[in-house]
């Protein structure tokens, strides 16, 4: 019983630390800090895959852990997605992506007479909402909601996806965000 309690105290501390690192990554504009949040999620999924089970000592502890994992899934997805997008943009000959005033990215269409346009505006807020919706849908066992979320996002952004750079960022960002939220939701469910 003591080992179980100590293990769960460590689990809660690691989850709280991962969430704190994700918040710090956002606050200090250092998204790579959030990569450390991958550790508890990967360890948790590996533990599940290998059949390691340590039941929570009380229902309250399990609920607190689930809330921390859910928050990590929603909040941690932003800096993790930003880090992956920054990594994906390196070395492919693309120019550096410049953030716009309204949370989008600035793209130029190559025509010197046309001013640069900000596209994918509101992506940060949309990302938080899609991760929250995905986690809720998986936890509730309503996977059809996941299909609706993806369809709505794709249809809502369709008119902005005319440049290869924008399409690439949209696809990579969406996939990373959804995979991260899905992994966190699996931890909650399993």
- Reference 46, options 152, 185, 183, 189; nearest CA is 183
pLDDT at residue 97 in the model: 59
| Beta partners for residue 118, in sequence order | 106
Instruction: Select from 34, 32, 43, 35 the least CA-distant residue to 10.
Output: 43
pLDDT averaged over 10-residue windows placed end to end, the chain, 190 residues: 93 97 95 94 95 93 97 96 85 57 66 69 87 97 95 84 80 94 96
**pLDDT value, residue 84:** 92
Domain ranges of the chain: 2-189
Distance CA 157, CA 153 (A): 6
Unique residue bearing structure tokens 């019983």 = 1
pTM above 0.85, yes or no: yes
Q: Per the structure block, which two tokens stand in for 96? A: 């550096």
Nearest Cα residue to 82 out of 126, 35, 18? 35
């Amino acid at each position: 019983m003591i080992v179980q309690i100590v293990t769960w105290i460590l689990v809660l501390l690691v989850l709280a630390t991962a969430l704190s690192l994700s918040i710090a990554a956002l606050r200090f504009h250092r998204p790579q800090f959030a990569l450390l949040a991958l550790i508890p999620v990967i360890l948790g999924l590996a533990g599940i895959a290998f059949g390691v089970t340590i039941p929570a000592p009380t229902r309250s502890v399990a609920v607190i852990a689930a809330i921390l994992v859910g928050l990590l899934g929603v909040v941690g997805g932003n800096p993790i997605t930003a880090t992956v997008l920054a990594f994906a943009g390196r070395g492919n000959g693309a120019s550096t992506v410049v953030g716009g005033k309204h949370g989008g990215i600035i793209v130029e269409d190559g025509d010197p007479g046309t001013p640069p346009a900000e596209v994918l505006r509101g992506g940060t807020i949309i990302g938080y909402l899609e991760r929250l919706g995905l986690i809720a849908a998986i936890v509730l066992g309503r996977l059809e909601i996941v299909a609706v979320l993806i369809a709505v996002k794709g249809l809502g952004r369709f008119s902005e996806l005319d440049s290869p750079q924008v399409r690439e960022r949209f696809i990579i960002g969406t996939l990373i965000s959804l995979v991260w939220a899905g992994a966190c939701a699996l931890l909650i469910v399993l």
